[in-house]
Amino acid sequence: MVQLVPSCGVGTLERHADFASRFVDARHVDVWLPPEYCSVGPRRFPVLYMHDGQNLFRAEDAFLGVDWDVAGAVVRLVEGGIIEPVIVVGIWNTAKRRQEYMPQKPFEARGGACELPGYEGLYGGPPLSDAYLGFLFEELKPFIDRTYLTCPEREKTWMMGSSMGGLVSLYALCEAPHMLGGVACLSTHWPVLEWAMVDYVRRHLPPPGQHRLYFDYGTETLDAFYAEHQGRIDEVMRAAGYVEGRDWITRCFEGAEHSERAWRERVHIPLAFLLGDRSKA
C-alpha cells in the first residue's frame, strides 16, 4: 500500500512499504515525484534509481540523521535549466546490504569456493547481487513504469549509489546495459574486491557512446584508500574508448570523507552529469 510521507520539503514522496519480491527480502521503496509531476499537463518523466534509499530524502529516516537532500538538489538543477524534472526511486537497504551490493560474478571469478567461506563468515552469507538485480529489473522497474508516468527507455533510466552502492550500480550497468543510460558511483568501495572488479569491468564494460558513467572519491576516512583503485578503473575506461568529460568523468574531492554529509554536498554534480543535456557536454 502506498503511503504519503510528510516533511520531504519539495515535491511529493510516496512510500511503498515492505515491497515484496521473489528474489530478495522485502524492503521499503520511496518514490519522489517532482513538483512538475502534478502541476503540468500529461507528460512522462525520466527515472533515477538510487540505493540506500532511506538516506536520500528525510533526516528522520537517514543513517546518523543526515540525508542527501536529493529532492532539493533536483529542484535546484531543474530551476537552473541544467536538467529536466526526474522521478527518483529510493530503494531502502536491508540487513543483507553487503551481500546484495557485492558484485557477484567478479567475486566468484577471484578464487571461487576457496574464498567464499571467508566472505560468508564476514558478511553473513554469499553475494546476492544477481538476485538484487533481478528484483530491480524484473520486478521494481516494471512496477514503477506501470504505476507512474515514466519514460521507460534505457536512455531515460539511470542509477546511482555510494560506497558498495557504487559497486552494484556499475555492476548493474555491465550486466544489463540495455536497461540503463548511465550510472553514478560515489566513493566506490573498490578495496572490497581488489583487482577482481577491474578485471570484470575490463571484460564487461559496454562499448562507449551509449552510456554515461560518473565516479568520484574523497581523500579522508575510507575514501583515502580509493585513489589507486579508481585510477585502475580510469585506465580501463580510456582503453575501452570512453572519452573523459563527454561520456565519463572521475572527480576527486580534497578533504571529503566517506559519509552521507559529504555525498549530500556534491550529489548535484553527478545529477547534472547524468541527466544534463547531452548536446552541451
Contacts of 130 (CB under 8 A, 6+ apart): 104, 105, 175
Choose the weakest-confidence range: 6-10, 77-81, 134-138, 150-154: 6-10
Residue 110, pLDDT score: 60
180 touches 159 (CB < 8 A): yes
Predicted confidence band of residue 281 (pLDDT cuts 50, 70, 90): very low
Q: What is the 3-state secondary structure (H, E, C) of 92-131?
A: CCCCCHHHHHCCHHHHHHHHHHHCHHHHHHHHCCCCCHHH
Question: CATH top-level class for 2-276?
Answer: alpha beta
Condensed to tens digits (0 to 9), the pLDDT of residues 99-136 reads 999 999 987 776 555 566 667 778 888 899 999 999 99
Domain definitions of the chain by residue range:
2-276
Q: Which three cell numbers stand for residue 250?
A: 572521475
How far apart CA 52 and CA 139 sit, in angstroms, is 18
How far apart CA 229 and CA 78 sit, in angstroms, is 34
Condensed to tens digits (0 to 9), the pLDDT of residues 137-193 reads 999 999 999 999 999 999 999 999 999 999 999 999 999 999 999 999 999 999 988
| pLDDT, the chain, mean | 93
pTM value surpassing 0.75: yes
Minimal CA–CA distance to 141: which of 104, 178, 106? 178
Condensed to tens digits (0 to 9), the pLDDT of residues 224-256 reads 999 999 999 999 999 999 999 999 999 999 999
